[in-house]
């Protein structure tokens, strides 16, 4: 059995899911008589991450003071390293007050079933100036055109803080039964396989040859026992490839091109923040919690548009105090297929190459090709993966 990395800020995971069936049944019964609110999708995905142990050691939604402290210094008021606020924001809390128990209804499932019960520690209002400052701290911009900023500012400015008892994993468990996994389940599988050096790869897109080779390079250079491909299954910005298509494409790639038993294909229930460097740190925390010892951070990790420098998500790890995280980072440069060497390389490691020596395609060019039923060159994309994407683009209205 491999020795697993310790979770963040705790000796063991602190999942907030209610596992016991009798306890869950009595909570569902209690919920029917509690004041209820339909939470935002962001709050619901925070609840799912808390439920699945990914947000260990948090016990629930943050207070205003904790959120502002995290924005300012990446630490809670109690000193825990944490890079992004984990809030239950609403536009109007109605009559909800400190000490209440409230039912949180799921915005993403038909009929808005009860997702969790929250004990209210406080109901606090962020002033417009505070929301603006928190947005700037976390996203590095307050531009409303930034999809993460737009989503954050649309949630409301009333924070309901306090601990949670989560009753289910929303739509993730039912819609992605093969892929959705809690941090607990991934840890158990890593342990069962006897892995101790484990590389995690974050993705919200299908994986092209460059991503595939990047995972191989990381495993090889770190002498890793295994790879966990960990895909985001929550809400994305318009135009991103839907999770089921991405899932199918990644599974096909691993089945055909990775050694049997070397790779776990998993996913997690979270809505993308597009917060660049801060989100990269958050990614590191929940990869540590699921048992990975290393996380690949590539060019423009968790970024969007031109809001962040290409390697800002790597650089932020150099600025945090030593000991903030136990997981280590594998820094990856831009990778591309070299016509000279007939393989994918990191561009920075091929100083004798010119631009013409690489097969370089923009995301827009690739989408256009796929939309027209044309497979990108095999140096860029595996043909079997390209076919899944072509079928997706064909079926779109």
Q: Where in the sequence numbering do the catalytic residues fall?
A: 204-205
CB 224 within 8 A of CB 197: yes
Q: What does each C-alpha distance from 167 to 31, 58, 170, 296, 358 come to in angstroms?
A: 11, 17, 9, 32, 50
- With b meaning 16 or more CB within 10 Å and e meaning fewer, what string describes 247-272? bbbbbbbbeebbeeebbbbbbbbbbb
CB 209 within 8 A of CB 337: yes
Residues comprising the chain, all counted: 397
Nearest CA to 339 among 354, 359, 355? 359
Cα–Cα distance, 147 to 145 (Å, whole number): 6
CB 255 within 8 A of CB 262: no
Nearest CA to 187 among 324, 19, 3? 3
CB 119 within 8 A of CB 61: no
Name the 3-class secondary structure at 227: strand
Name the 3-class secondary structure at 212: helix
Q: Residue 12 contacts by C-beta under 8 Å, 6 or more apart in sequence? A: none
Torsion of CA 198, 199, 204, 209, to 10 degrees: -130
CB 334 within 8 A of CB 360: no
Cα–Cα distance, 350 to 340 (Å, whole number): 10
CB 286 within 8 A of CB 268: yes
Q: Which long-range contacts (CB under 8 A, 24 or more apart) does 67-72 make?
A: 67/134, 67/159, 68/130, 68/133, 68/134, 71/133, 71/134, 71/137, 71/138, 72/137
CB 294 within 8 A of CB 216: no
Name the 3-class secondary structure at 62: coil
């Amino acid at each position: 059995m491999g020795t697993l990395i310790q979770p963040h800020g705790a000796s063991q995971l602190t999942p907030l899911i209610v596992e016991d069936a009798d306890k869950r049944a009595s909570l569902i019964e209690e919920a029917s008589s509690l004041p209820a609110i339909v939470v935002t999708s962001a709050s619901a995905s925070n609840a799912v991450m808390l439920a699945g142990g990914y947000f260990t050691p948090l016990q629930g939604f943050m207070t205003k003071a904790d959120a502002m402290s995290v924005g300012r210094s990446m630490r809670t008021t109690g000193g825990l390293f944490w890079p992004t606020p984990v809030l239950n924001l609403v536009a109007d809390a109605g009559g909800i007050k400190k000490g209440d128990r409230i039912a949180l209804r799921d915005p993403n499932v038909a009929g808005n079933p009860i997702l969790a019960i929250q004990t209210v520690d406080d109901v606090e209002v962020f002033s417009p100036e505070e929301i603006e400052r928190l947005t700037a701290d976390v996203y590095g911009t307050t531009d409303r055109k930034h999809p993460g900023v737009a989503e954050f500012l649309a949630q409301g400015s009333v924070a309901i803080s306090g601990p949670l008892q989560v009753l289910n994993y929303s739509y993730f468990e039912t819609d992605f039964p093969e892929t959705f996994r809690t941090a607990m389940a991934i840890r158990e599988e890593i342990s069962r396989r006897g892995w101790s050096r484990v590389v995690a790869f974050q993705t919200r897109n299908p994986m092209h040859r460059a991503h595939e080779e990047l995972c191989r390079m990381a495993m090889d250079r770190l002498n890793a026992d295994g790879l966990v491909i960990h895909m985001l299954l929550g809400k994305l910005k318009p135009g991103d490839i839907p999770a089921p298509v991405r899932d199918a494409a990644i599974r096909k790639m691993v089945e055909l091109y990775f050694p049997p038993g070397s790779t776990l294909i998993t996913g997690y229930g979270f809505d993308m923040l597009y917060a660049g460097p801060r989100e990269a740190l958050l990614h590191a925390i929940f990869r540590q919690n699921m048992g990975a010892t290393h996380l690949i951070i590539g060019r423009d990790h968790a970024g969007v548009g031109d809001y962040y420098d290409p390697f800002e998500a790597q650089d932020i790890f150099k600025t945090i105090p030593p000991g903030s995280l136990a997981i280590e980072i594998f820094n990856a440069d831009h990778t591309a297929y070299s016509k000279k060497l007939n393989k994918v390389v990191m561009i920075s490691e091929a100083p004798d190459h010119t631009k013409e020596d690489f097969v370089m395609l923009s995301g827009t060019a690739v989408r256009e090709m796929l939309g027209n039923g044309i497979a990108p060159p095999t140096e860029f994309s595996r043909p079997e993966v390209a076919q899944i994407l072509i079928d997706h683009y064909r079926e779109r209205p």
